[in-house]
Structure 1
Amino acid sequence: METLQIDFQKTALVMIDLQKGIVQLPGGQAIVDKSRKLVELFRQKQGFLAFVRVAFHDGQDALKPSTDQPAPTMKRSEDWADLVPELGVTDKDYVVTKRQWGAFFGTDLDLQLRRRGIDTIVLCGIATNIGVEMTAREAFQLGYNQIFITDAMMAMSGEEHDATCRYIFPRIGKVRTTEAVLAEVSHG
């Protein structure tokens, strides 16, 4: 496996949907803990942090296509879309609010990354095969280099997570674990 050469001036950590209403799912706290290590690394190296959350203005802006497996309806608490405090989001961090699966479509994430000369994203979050994978596919089409931190993401099932990590991510970027990235950066 090729060693990562991360230029933190040209790399952004993009975290998908690490918000109160989503990380309460079983296994969500472990993803937050791994992601927090990445946040600390990027703060130390002065890399760009992009916290992505999904939120809706009045519910009329939510996607409602006809599907064989409709999204479950749920009552969202007032703080459902708030980013979890463990990540230590500051006013200097970039927060993206999306209203669909991917973080690029309908947002200015691409514009903000390009204005900063960023050509690589490190991606993590929930859910692997939905918000993370859609964002990864969009980033691939936009020409970004990508590093997927697979132990800092999860899906609703192990099969869904594994399928994306095994069959999609290696075709559009590099697949690593949190510890592998931390080790490579400390030795690099």
Structure 2
Amino acid sequence: MITAIDKNTALVLIDLQNNIVAYPTVHPIDDIIKRSAELMHAFHTAALPVVIVTVDTYGAPWTHARKEAKQNTAPAPDGALDITPGIKPRETDIFIVKKTWSAFHETGLHEILQERSITNIVLGGVATSLGVEGTARSASALGYNVTFAIDAMTDITIEAHDRSLKYIFPRIGESGTTEKIIEQIPGA
């Protein structure tokens, strides 16, 4: 349940890019994109920062480490890393390219948010248990209030999505629907 949204809050949308939204997900991706766009509109209306995070793991050291799951280590094809057409960022938005699950790891995002006195981030995007959770864990460690837009995120398996919502997110922040978050945004 959301108790408050700080007046210095930023929206952080994770990996809403062509190659990621093309994966099969447990919730209709068009609904996730629509709700993410609604959040973006509310943040723009309230003159609050919007952060668009994309992922490009090509050349990242972790992709070459041993693991059981197969990793794609090839460069992304043309257009794969482009923001999905349903998301319409503004030139004034903050654009971050990450190489890992966390939008904070070696991206400068923390410094950018600190320059703007941000104390709270609202998270949405794909995938719940990967980029969203990875970013949330880092945000929590850095002392941000974290708010999860639970109907503006999805995953590739229901088990992974539900695990994050049920066990991890309550330890990190507060969760609510897009509608409830927008109701709490100062000036929206």
Contact in 2 for aligned 1:148/1:175 (Cα 8 Å): yes
User: Which position in structure 2 is the counterpart of 1:77?
Assistant: 77
Is 2:13 aligned against 1:12?
no
Is 2:156 aligned against 1:119?
no
Contact in 2 for aligned 1:22/1:28 (Cα 8 Å): no
1:155 and 1:49 map into 2 onto residues whose CA distance is: 22
Gaps spanning 5+ residues in structure 2: where? none
Contact in 1 for aligned 2:2/2:181 (Cα 8 Å): no
Residues 70-113 of structure 1: per-residue CA shift (max 9 Å, x gap): 23567733011111232211211110001111100010000000
**Aligned counterpart for 2:22 among listed residues 14, 24, 28:** 24
Contact in 2 for aligned 1:52/1:98 (Cα 8 Å): yes
2:46 and 2:87 map into 1 onto residues whose CA distance is: 16
CA RMSD of aligned residues (A): 2.1
Contact in 2 for aligned 1:39/1:49 (Cα 8 Å): yes
User: Which position in structure 2 is the counterpart of 1:86?
Assistant: 86
Aligned residues: 184
User: Which position in structure 2 is the counterpart of 1:61?
Assistant: 60
Contact in 1 for aligned 2:119/2:144 (Cα 8 Å): yes
Q: Identity percentage over the alignment?
A: 36
Contact in 1 for aligned 2:169/2:175 (Cα 8 Å): yes
TM-score (norm 2): 0.90
User: Which position in structure 2 is the counterpart of 1:151?
Assistant: 151
Q: For residue 106 of structure 1, give the secondary structure of its aligned residue in structure 2.
A: coil
Gaps spanning 5+ residues in structure 1: where? none
- Per chain length, whose mean CA-contact separation is higher, i.e. which structure has more relative contact order (CA < 8 Å, sep 6+)? 2
